[in-house]
Structure 1
Amino acid sequence: MDNLIKICGLSTPETLEVALDAGADMVGFTRIPRSPRHVSLDLAHRLSLQARGRTQRVVLLLNPGDEDIAQAVEAINPDLIQLHGSETPERVAEIRAMVKRPVMKALGIAEASDLQALTAYAGADRILLDAKPPRTAGALPGGNGIAFDWRLLNGLDPRLSFMLSGGLNPDNVAEAIRLTKPQAVDVSSGVESGPGLKDPARIEAFIRAARTAFAAAHH
């Protein structure tokens, strides 16, 4: 299975173009109003058209209602829905049946016991392992720039396919890939110069470093 690199939280045509030109396998558009990476349905629609046929398009939703999902699917026509809230396995299955397209479930990891949820969400098409958000008021569900202890994944079944997220950046992604052997990696704040401000040079550096590390892992 191919190793994938996802650049999430893109919100301008210019930075999206950088990610596309650099070879991002997936691009993510955030629909979480309190996030600095939130995009309106109109902007998300335009960005999605720009990326169509060039990469996989992902929409990031947080505990969405049916109407939220319907609007996002109509505007963005995503290849994948990413659920980043406290959605239950039942709700994930319900959304998957409703949208008739793949669903990725994000799970927050802080300690070994958090990995027990993996079994419950086996019905999701993809699993994203992210750092659990800090317990502070207004903390975002992701994109906080913090990593969890990657050694927690040492005992995982090596056949398990997952996407690694949380605190990744151009400087540490190679080490993360070497230690955890993910099928895919996901970055948002790690390629920014400020909250929500994607940095073209960091996007290019991240994709280059991840691609090199995946190639090394196969040898």
Structure 2
Amino acid sequence: MADIRVKICGLRSAADVAAVVAAGAHYAGLNFFPKSPRFLTLDQAREVAFAAPPGLAKVALTVNAEDAALDAIVDAVPLDMLQLHGHETPDRVAELRSRYGLPVMKVLGVADESDLAGLMDYSLAADQLMIDAKPPKGAVLPGGNGISFDWRLLVGRKWLKPWMLAGGLTPANVAEAIRLTGARQVDVASGVETAPGVKDAALMAAFVTAATA
């Protein structure tokens, strides 16, 4: 599984970035959703982004963000990709790709097979897809809740664009998730934390090792 690419989301410090680099991850996620324990202000995000070496893709996670908020993020923070984690339509995805000239990853929540129906439309509009666990009813966060879905739903499925598996992944289960789904990319946030928003370098290293071994 050596060609598996790993995204670690919700980094909050230069030390987090250093741990991600040491672990061998490929993407660093910066969270701009104010209700999240992983939220960064523009100044904080800029500091974290500048700590990232060349080759580590810096990804901005936003949720139903308006143009003004996205303009401010893109202007202030050097980024490599936008991650849309809200109810953005395929048209909105295409609009933002054009507006910022950045690759866009669209996140889709899955709880059962019916939730997979919209993935093809989004695969036409986005550069990448993230297939995450649908948040529980009434949840404040659209992701990062530490829950997974039935990975067997993805067995044998193909989409037009690269995709990433997310939702409840940990160092203990990521290898099995990859085996079942055929995912070539995986995303983790809460699964490498000791408390919400508090990353652990040893857990990050263990996750990347388990995913890529």
TM-score tier, shorter chain, comes to over 0.9
Cα deviation for residue 161 of structure 1 reads 2.9
Q: Distance in 1 between matches of 2:160 and 2:98?
A: 26
Cα deviation for residue 88 of structure 1 reads 0.4
Cα deviation for residue 157 of structure 1 reads 2.5
Cα deviation for residue 54 of structure 1 reads 3.8
Q: Distance in 2 between matches of 1:84 and 1:56?
A: 18
Contact 2:129 2:161 in 1 (8 A): no
State the partner residue of 1:95.
96
What pairs with 1:200-211 in structure 2 (closer than 5 Å)? Answer: 200-211=201-212
DSSP 3-state at the match of 2:51 = helix
State the partner residue of 2:15.
14
Cα deviation for residue 158 of structure 1 reads 7.5
Contact 1:20 1:54 in 2 (8 A): no
DSSP 3-state at the match of 1:51 = coil
State the partner residue of 2:188.
187
Contact 2:120 2:160 in 1 (8 A): no
Q: Larger RCO: Structure 1 or Structure 2 (Cα < 8 Å, ≥ 6 residues apart)?
A: 2
Q: Distance in 1 between matches of 2:150 and 2:141?
A: 19
Q: Distance in 1 between matches of 2:193 and 2:177?
A: 19
Query: Would you say how many aligned residue pairs link Structure 1 and Structure 2?
Result: 210
Structure 1: tracts of 5 or more residues without a match = 213-219
From 128, 131, 154, the counterpart of 1:129: 131
State the partner residue of 2:48.
47
More displaced, 175-184 or 151-160? 151-160
State the partner residue of 2:117.
116
Cα deviation for residue 16 of structure 1 reads 1.6
Contact 1:59 1:76 in 2 (8 A): no
- Normalising by structure 2, what TM-score? 0.95
Contact 1:111 1:152 in 2 (8 A): yes
DSSP 3-state at the match of 2:33 = coil
Q: Distance in 1 between matches of 2:161 and 2:53?
A: 29
Identity of matched residues, %: 48
Q: CA RMSD in A?
A: 1.3
What pairs with 1:21-60 in structure 2 (closer than 5 Å)? Answer: 21-60=22-61
DSSP 3-state at the match of 2:118 = helix
Structure 2: tracts of 5 or more residues without a match = none
Give the letter for the 1:157 counterpart.
K
Question: Runs in 1 of length 4+ with deviation above 2 angstroms?
Answer: 157-161
What pairs with 1:142-153 in structure 2 (closer than 5 Å)? Answer: 142-153=143-154
State the partner residue of 2:165.
164
Q: Deviations over 1:137-195 (max 9, x none)?
A: x4200000000000111241387631000000000000000000112000000000111
Q: Distance in 2 between matches of 1:167 and 1:180?
A: 14
DSSP 3-state at the match of 1:34 = coil
Q: Distance in 2 between matches of 1:57 and 1:201?
A: 21
